[in-house]
Structure 1
Amino acid sequence: MRLLRSRPTPPAPASPGDLLAEAEALHVRLGARDVLHGVDVAVRAGEVLALVGPNGAGKSTLLGALAADIAPAGAVLPQSSALSFPFSVEEVVRMGRAPWAALDPADDEAAVAGAMAATEVTAFAARPFSALSGGERARVALARVLAQRAPLLMLDEPTAALDLRHQELVLRLCRERARAGDAVVVVLHDLGLAAAHAHRVAVLRAGRVAADGPPEEIFTESLLSEVYDQPVEVLTHPRTGAVLVLPVRTE
């Protein structure tokens, strides 16, 4: 008798406010170092959650810990992508459909084409991934994650290698995914981007959450100056009312 394994199916759509990932009193030790200490964080459908904080605060570790608990319903984009074989851009993006491959070929094609168009990589679909610039690779890697169409999207510093236009593009895509009912967790160093695009921000410091809430509430001069060990000023944009975070410069 031969046992037939059921094919995987895409996760069901989430409802607004659904809890898609959560950490309670999370501790992570890597080697001899405690990286996270009693971290609590919740990720809900319909929101963009930004993880911010100085280098070594534990942002990427927290992202990885959350992803391990929710696979395969989560899609994770690491800080950098490297491939040893000469795959084309389109082939790399198509890898994002691997969990659901052959379930609906037409849906696969639509997902791949849509992801490439959204990240503006269609024009060089046939080029080898290895021949791309760092910023182009980052956008292709994001397209691969978008093609998976998971209800939870996790991005680790997706704007680090991008120019101004494509930084805004990536964060707009995050907002669009949240409006469509998905949850997005994104690690960011740019506090301005976090303030402009995140519904909620978790500020990490030395492996702990120093504050968690809407950026307009928790981005205060006292908190950010302490967390980053750098004096900052928090201003309100005169036209949009958005929060602006600037380092205090004496010269």
Structure 2
Amino acid sequence: MLEAHNLTVHRSGHRVLHSVDLTLAPGEVTALVGPNGAGKSTLLAALAGDLPAASGEVRIAGRPAGAWSPRELARYRAVLPQDTALSFPFAVAEIVRMGRAPWARTPAAAEDDEAVAAAMAATEVTAFASRPFTALSGGERARVALARVLAQRTPLVLLDEPTAALDLRHQELVLRVCRERAAAGDAVVVVLHDLGLAGAYADRVAVLRAGRIVADGPPSDVFEPALLSRVYGQPVDVVDLPGAAGPLVVPRRPRRNPAT
């Protein structure tokens, strides 16, 4: 469904990604993890066809990313950027309906109302459908932005830090939605900082460091203490708890002195 071959990307004259290879399949959630500045957001934008390659290529459904028109891309892949800024007070329902724009004047436009309602229900924003987007909290805005992406109904979904502004309950909700989309046959790529969420919900994890993928595979294989400690510059332990959905990554911290 999506392939990067020997992908190198420059931004502002600096090389950000170095010879990246990655293949994504339908029915999988792939998490991109790594420290700040590792190149996760740049890789996501390149995979979406929004950033050109300096060398190598991205192929979407077997076609070079540059061979797709903007409308074709919008009908095949939906992208959630890190920041969603709107200066006009559109109502929440209007924002979500914007995700249906690629399907205007096509037979799929008959699904608009149902797609919008389903996306708002999945992200728990129906209750404030008529409120202006500019009046929402940061977490509410993040969920509305995700609802817009879901309403687009594309087989490829790319999400950049969708849980960053969310509380614990809604972090779990977002990743459950990702799993549901994958179970329905879509390919989902999500940039995450929370390794616990990646371990619990991702089928595959690609670990980036300094613009390169240094590990790629199931969380149970990739989440290895020595590797993660080296990548993050922070000693960690990896714990497998009975009944847990995936491995837990725990930073090593100095013990507090007991109160005297």
Further displaced range: 199-208 or 26-35? 26-35
One-letter amino acid of the structure 2 residue matched with residue 90 of structure 1: A
Q: Distance in 2 between matches of 1:239 and 1:28?
A: 41
Q: What TM-score do the two structures reach when normalised by structure 1?
A: 0.90
What is the CA-CA distance between 1:31 and the residue it aligns to?
1.5
Equivalences for 1:1-251 in 2 at 5 Å? Answer: 20-68=1-49, 69=65, 71-72=73-74, 73-104=76-107, 105-240=109-244, 242-251=246-255
Conserved 8 A contact 1:63-1:156: yes
Conserved 8 A contact 2:201-2:245: no
Q: Distance in 2 between matches of 1:138 and 1:239?
A: 30
Aligned-partner SS, 1:174? helix
Conserved 8 A contact 2:44-2:158: yes
What is the CA-CA distance between 1:241 and the residue it aligns to?
6.2
Alignment root-mean-square deviation, CA? 1.1
Conserved 8 A contact 1:121-1:136: yes
Conserved 8 A contact 1:79-1:157: yes
Aligned-partner SS, 1:193? helix
Instruction: Give the % identical residues.
Output: 69
Q: Distance in 1 between matches of 2:205 and 2:245?
A: 18
What is the CA-CA distance between 1:238 and the residue it aligns to?
2.5
One-letter amino acid of the structure 1 residue matched with residue 17 of structure 2: L
Aligned-partner SS, 2:166? coil
CA offsets per residue over residues 134-173 of structure 1, 9 Å max, x none?
Answer: 0000000000000000000000000000000000000000
Conserved 8 A contact 2:199-2:245: no
Q: Distance in 2 between matches of 1:241 and 1:145?
A: 26
Q: Distance in 2 between matches of 1:109 and 1:241?
A: 35
One-letter amino acid of the structure 1 residue matched with residue 83 of structure 2: S
Further displaced range: 178-187 or 64-73? 64-73
Q: How many residue pairs get matched?
A: 232
Q: Distance in 1 between matches of 2:81 and 2:246?
A: 29
